[in-house]
Chain A
Amino acid sequence: DAGVIQSPRHEVTEMGQEVTLRCKPISGHNSLFWYRQTMMRGLELLIYFNNNVPIDDSGMPEDRFSAKMPNASFSTLKIQPSEPRDSAVYFCASSFRGRGEAFFGQGTRLTVV
């Protein structure tokens, strides 16, 4: 398996624009997580899905952020409108519920100017 695949790897956008980050989890995994990493706040859990259903989105910073998982092999994290303070590395991770380990993608480095 190729692991968790995220795209794009880097994204530079202007303030106010819509940004969509994409994630393909490991085949067979039934849980998917979106994290944001910054120097100031470390790794923050934004949202996680179990069997394509959002279970906990309490980490989503505000209404500008939304996440979907239309099927078991694809998820998106959308920011609309984007702001400079959204600049961070966004990670997607997947796991098989009950196994404990989460496997991370390479991340998307987002820069909002």
Chain B
Amino acid sequence: QQQVKQSPQSLIVQKGGISIINCAYENTAFDYFPWYQQFPGKGPALLIAIRPDVSEKKEGRFTISFNKSAKQFSLHIMDSQPGDSATYFCAAISGNQFYFGTGTSLTVIP
């Protein structure tokens, strides 16, 4: 059973555009929601994270929007750049139970 559902599987965005990746979860015990960025040949690296007591967190061009009632959260990448091309994973955590989404391959076209 997929604890965290992520969409889309792949995304192509023009340079300067907004990239949006969505995730949904079912288990209300999750209390931490990180996003990871993975470049080819590298391990996933923590990008930004949010706790469910806030609805939005912004770090530079990256923003997480969190909707607790809908059990959904999303990553927005503003002014997308070719260097943002990577695979993005959302995750949901409760204690030491980590559940990852299936990943979104983002390509930013110059």
Residues of A within 8 A of B (CB): 4, 31, 33, 42-43, 45, 48, 50, 55-56, 91, 93, 95, 97, 100-107
Contact = CB atoms under 8 A, between A and B. Distances in A.
B96 A106 contact: no
Majority secondary structure, B binding face: strand
Contact of B43 (A42, A55, A104): A104
Nearest to A100: B32
A73 B7 CA distance: 36
A45 B46 contact: no
Majority secondary structure, A binding face: strand
Interface residues of B, number: 19
Contact of B49 (A42, A56, A101): A101
Contacts of A50: 96
Given A42-B100, A43-B103, A104 B44 contact: yes
Contacts of B46: 101-103
Most buried by A among B44, B45, B46: B44
A32 B32 CA distance: 18
Interface in B24-82: 32, 34, 36, 41-46, 49
Contacts of B96: 31, 48, 50, 55, 95, 97
Contacts of A95: 96
A102 B79 CA distance: 27
